Structure 1
Amino acid sequence: MPELRHLAETSIDHLRLVLEVGKIGVWELDLRSGQAWRSQRHDEIFGYDEMLPEWTYEQFLSHVVEEDRDQVDALQRAAIENGSEWVFECRITRPDGQQRWISAAGSPLRDEDGRVVKLIGNVIDITENRARESRLRILTQELNHRVRNMLAIMRAMISLSSRKAMDVPSFARALEGRIAALARTHDLFQLDNPQKCSANEIIAKEIEVFPEFAHRMDVSANTVARLGPSECQGFSLVVHELMTNAIKYGAFSQNSGRVEVTIDKREDIGVRIRWREHGGPHASKPDQVGFGTRMMKTVLGSAGRVDLEFKPSGLACTIEIDKVA
C-alpha cells in the first residue's frame, strides 16, 4: 500500500507539473447546480490574480465577447444533448478590459442513469498563437504578392531582352545579369522586416558586383530611401541597366570616366535618384526609344518615372519613385 500511495502521489505531482508548464487551466462544471470547480490557472486565464469564491457557467458566458457568446453556448448545449465533446475557441474579456483568445475542451460525465451531469475539461490562453497565425497569414500574403510581382517583372524582362538580343548567347548573358540583380534585391528583404530594403543598399550591392569601378563612383545621400518590395525589384533592374550600359558604352568605357549618384527624399515626389556620367563618350540621343529606356520604364511601373538626358558630358538619368515604404 505505501508503494501504491507513493505512485499515486508521484502521478499527481507529474500531472500538476504538466498543467503548470503547459499553462493549462482545468475545470469541472456541475450541470445541476451550475457551479464549477477549477484550478487557479483557470482563474488567471480569465484575468484574476486570486481565485474567486465561486465560478458559474453564467460567469463564464459573461466573459465571452458578445459576438462569440451564442455559438459557444450552442456548442455546450449540443455537447450535453449528444453526450459529445465540448470543444471551442473564443474571445474573452478580462476584468481590466483586455481581450484574449482561449481554447477549451470538455468531456461529459454521466450518472448511473446515463444522463450527462458534469463536464470536465481544460482551458488554455491561445492569444499568442492567434497573433502568430495572423502574422503568418500576412507574411504569406506578402510573399505571394512578391512572387507574382517578380514573375511579372521577369516576363517583361524576357520579352524585352529577346527583342534586342542578336543571338542566344548574348540573350542568355544579358538575362542572367538581370536575374542576378533581382536575386540580390531579394536577399535584402526579410519577410518579417519589410523596411530592410532601400535604394541605397541596392546601389551598394550593384557596386559590389563590379568592384573595379567602385573607386570611380561617387554616391551621396541625404536619407536612407526605403522602398516597397515592388519598387525595389524594379529599381534594382534600372540600376543594373545603368551600370552595364556605363561599362559598355558610357563613362566606364573610358579610363577617366566617373559616375555620380545622389539620393534624396522629397515630400512632393517621394524618392529621387540622379545618375550622372562624366568623362565618357558624348551621349547622343537615339533616333527611337532604345531597349534600355523601355526596360527601365516597364519594370518601374506606374509608381516610378525615368527621365534620360543625353549630354556631351555623358548620360544623365533621373529616377523618381512615388511609393516609399
Structure 2
Amino acid sequence: MDEAIRAAAMDAYDLESLRNSAALNRITDFAAALCEAPVALVSLVEETRQTFISRSGLDITETSRETSFCAHAMLGDHIMVVPDATRDPRFVDNALVTGDLHIRFYAGAPLISDDGIPLGSLCVIDTKPREGLTPLQMQGLSTLADNVMARLRDSRDAAAWRATERDTRRRLIDSEDRFRTLADTMPQMVWSTLPDGYHDYYNARWYEFTGTPQGSTDGEGWNDVFHPDDQERAWAVWRDSLTTGNPYQIEYRLRHFDGTYRWVLGRALPIRDDTGRITRWFGTCTDIHEQKLALHEREVISQELSHRIKNIFAVISGLISFAARSRPDFAPIAADLRQRITALGRAHDFVRPHSPASRPSAQQDSLHGLLGELFEPYRRDDRLPITITGDEIAIDDRSATPLALLFHELATNATKYGALSTHDGAVDIAIARDGPLVTMRWSERGGPVVVEPVGVQGFGSQLIELSAVRQLGGTVTREWRAAGLVMTVSVPLTAFSRT
C-alpha cells in the first residue's frame, strides 16, 4: 500500500477533531465491556507510529508502528484474533508483549475506508491468554468497527462541508462555471436553488445516484425521488428553512438508480448579500445508508444484552426464593433481599435500551419517571400514597441503581415502621435543583409517632448511606419528627447523568 495515499486519506478525516471524542469513547468503553477485556482502542496506523484516538483502560496515546498489532489486523478482511501472543511467531519478541503492557490476547476489527484503504483497527486487549471471542462478541466488535467508520466518515464529511462552504463562497465571486466544476468533482450530491426554493442546479453525482434524466428534477420535481413516506416531512422542513432562513438539515430516503431507497443526509445553507437578503441556497446530499444500518444493528445488540441482564435479575430472585424454602430461618432476610433485587431490576428495566413496543410510557431519562416506576407496587386501590413534586432531573443508567436502592429502602422502612404502615399515611418527595446540587426531601406524615432509634445502624440504613454518600457523592440528614421522618439527601447534579 502506497503510504502517501494512506496519509492523504487520513488527512481527509480531520482526526484531531475526533481525538478522545465522547462518541468514540463510548464505543471503546462498550467494546471493552462487551468483550470483557481491560483495554479497548481505536488505533490508526501512520507511517512510523500507531496513534490511539480513543482508548479505554490505557494511558499511553501511541506506540511505534513496528510493534503494532493493528498494522497486521488492518490488512485483513475479518477480525484478527491472537489467543496468546507469546505463542505467535509474529509477536513473541514484540516489546508490547515482553514489556510493561504484557499483551497476551488481542482481537482487532479492521477499519477500512470506503475506497479500500486500511486505516487501523478497533481492538480489545487482555493481559491473559484467551481462546477467542464468542460469536456475539465477534458480531458486536464488527458492528462497533462499522460505527467507528461512520464517525470517521461524519468527520470527513463535516470537514469536506466546511471546505466546500469556504470554496463555494470564494468561487461564486469568480464565476458560476468554476462552482459547477468543483461541484461535479465532489463525492456528495450538490444542488442549489433560487431564493424562493426553485431548484435549478444539480451536480453530476445527483444524476449518477438517482438515474434521473438531466433537468427532470428541476423546480419541484426533486420531491418525486423521495420515499413516499418522507415527502411530506421533507417539504415541511424545506418550507420552514425558506420561510425563516434557518439552515436546512434532514434525513430521508432517496430513490437510487437501481430502484431501491437509500438513507441520505440533506443539508443546505443560504447565501446572503450585504443587506442580509438570501440570494441563493446551496446544499448537499450525503449517502448515510450503511451508517444507518450499522446504528440499527448496534441498537439491536444493546437491546439483547440489556434483556439478558434483566433475565439475570429474575434468575437471582428465583434462586433466593429457592434457598428460602429449604431454610425457613432465612425467609425474612430472603424476602428483603428479593425485594431489593426486584427494585434494582425495575430500575434497570426503566433505563435500558428498549424497542418501540417495550419502551416505558415515562421518559427514560426522567427521575420522576424512575421513582413513579419504583413506587407503583405501593399503590393502594387507585391511590398512590407517595407524591413526587419539584424539578425534573435527567438520569442515566449509572445513577439509576443507587437511586433505586436509596428510595426502595426508604419506602420499605416506611412500610414497616413509618407512614406507609398505616392506611392514611403518606409520603411527600420534593425535588429541587439548586445550582450544582439537587436536593431530594423525603417527608412522612400520618403514620405512628416517630422516635429516633438508638444503637447500631441497621442494614437498610447502611444501604441508604452506601447509595447516597458513597455511590452518588451526596450527604444525608435525618430529622426524627414526631409527625414523621424527614430525610434530606443532597447530591451533585453531575452524579445523575453523564451529560
What is the TM-score when the length of structure 2 is the normalising length? 0.35
Q: Is the 8 A contact 2:378 2:384 kept in 1?
A: no
Q: Does residue 268 of the first structure (1) align with residue 213 of the second (2)?
A: no
- The separation in 2 between residues aligned to 1:239 and 1:190, in whole angstroms, is 19
- Residue ranges of structure 2 left out of the alignment (5+ in a row): 12-43, 49-70, 76-114, 120-151, 165-186, 188-286, 321-327
2:485 corresponds in structure 1 to: 315
Give yes or no for contact 1:307–1:317 (8 Å, CA) kept in 2.
yes
Change (3 A) 1:129 1:280: same
Classify 1:131/1:324 alpha carbon distance in 2 versus 1 (closer, same or farther; 3 Å): farther
Partners in 1 of 2:3 and 2:462 — Cα distance? 69
Deviations 1:111-142 (CA, angstroms, capped at 9, x unpaired)? xxxxxxxxxxxxxx999559958x959x98xx
Q: 1:225 aligns with which of 370, 393, 413?
A: 393
Equivalent AA in structure 2 for residue 64 of structure 1 = A
Cα distance in 1 for partners of 2:5, 2:424 equals 80
SS of residue paired to 2:487: strand
1:283 shift after superposition: 1.6
CA drift of 1:167 comes to 3.3
Structure 1 residues 297 and 213, CA gap change in structure 2 (3 angstroms): farther
Aligned residues: percent identity?
25
- Find the residue that maps to 1:197 and give its secondary structure: coil
Distance 1:69 1:129 in 2: 25
- Cα deviation code 1:165-184 (max 9, x no counterpart): x9300111101100000000
The CA RMSD measured in Å over matched residues stands at 4.6
Higher helix share: 1
1:235-280: CA deviation from partner (whole Å, max 9, x where unpaired): 11111111111111111222332211112222131x2211111121
Distance 2:454 2:382 in 1: 32
CA distance in 2, matches of 1:243, 1:214: 18
Match of 1:304 in 2: 474
1:279–1:313: 8 Å Cα contact kept in structure 2?
Answer: yes
Task: State the partner residue of 1:117.
Answer: none
SS in 1 for 2:496: coil
Moved >3 Å (runs of 4+) = 57-63, 66-71, 90-98, 125-133, 190-193
C-alpha separation in 2, matches of 1:197 and 1:275: 21
Indicate conservation of the 8 Å contact 2:449/2:482, yes or no.
yes
Q: Which residue of 2 aligns with 1:208?
A: 376
Name the counterpart of 1:51.
none
- Note the alpha carbon deviations across 1:184-234, whole angstroms, 9 max, x for none: 0001113499x8233212221122112217736352433221223232211
Asked whether the 8 Å contact 2:6–2:117 carries over to 1, the reply is no
| CA distance in structure 2 between the aligned counterparts of 1:60 and 1:130, rounded to whole angstroms | 28
In structure 2, C-alpha distance between the alignment counterparts of 1:131 and 1:58, rounded to whole Å: 31
CA contact (8 A) 2:379 2:385 kept: no
Inter-partner Cα distance in structure 2 for 1:60 and 1:241: 62
- Map of 1:105-184 to 2, 5 A cutoff? 129=291, 132=294, 167-184=329-346
Q: 1:59 to 1:212 in 2, by over 3 A?
A: same
- Please name the residue that 1:190 is paired with: 352
Corresponding residue for 2:235? none
SS in 2 for 1:206: helix
Looking at structure 1, the residues matched to 389 and 9 of structure 2 have their Cα atoms a distance apart, in angstroms, of 54
TM-score, scaled relative to structure 1 = 0.52
- Look up the match of 1:243: 411
Distance change in 2, residues 1:184/1:190 (3 Å): same
CA contact (8 A) 2:3 2:47 kept: no
Preserved contact between residue 259 and residue 275 of structure 1 (Cα < 8 Å): yes
1:52 match: none
| CA 1:220–1:253: 2 relative to 1, 3 Å | closer
Asked if 1:324 corresponds to 2:496, the answer is yes
- Note closer, same or farther for the CA distance 1:88–1:283 as it changes in structure 2 (3 Å cut): same
Query: What does residue 64 of structure 1 align with?
Result: 9
Distance 1:304 1:297 in 2: 9
Tell me, what secondary structure is at the counterpart of 1:285?
coil
Q: How many residues align?
A: 213
> Considering only CA atoms, is the larger Rg found in Structure 1 or Structure 2?
1
Is there any run of 5+ residues in structure 1 with no aligned partner, and where?
1-56, 79-85, 101-124, 159-165
Query: Which piece of structure 1 moves more, 173-182 or 249-258?
Result: 249-258
Which residue of 94, 114, 118 maps to 1:89? 118
Q: What residue number does 2:453 align with?
A: 286
Q: Is the 8 A contact 2:375 2:386 kept in 1?
A: no
Identify which range, 210-219 or 179-188, moves more after superposition: 210-219
Superposed CA deviations along residues 57-77 of structure 1, whole A, max 9, x for unmatched, are 999678523487759xx99xx
User: Match of 2:444?
Assistant: 277
Distance in 1 of aligned mates of 2:364 and 2:490: 20
What SS class does the counterpart of residue 467 from structure 2 fall into?
A: helix
Query: Counterpart amino acid of 1:88?
Result: I
Instruction: Say if 2:440 and 2:488, in contact at 8 Å, map to a contact too.
Output: yes
The match for 2:148 is none
Contact 1:200 1:263 in 2 (8 A): no
Contact 2:427–2:442, Cα closer than 8 Å, also in 1: yes
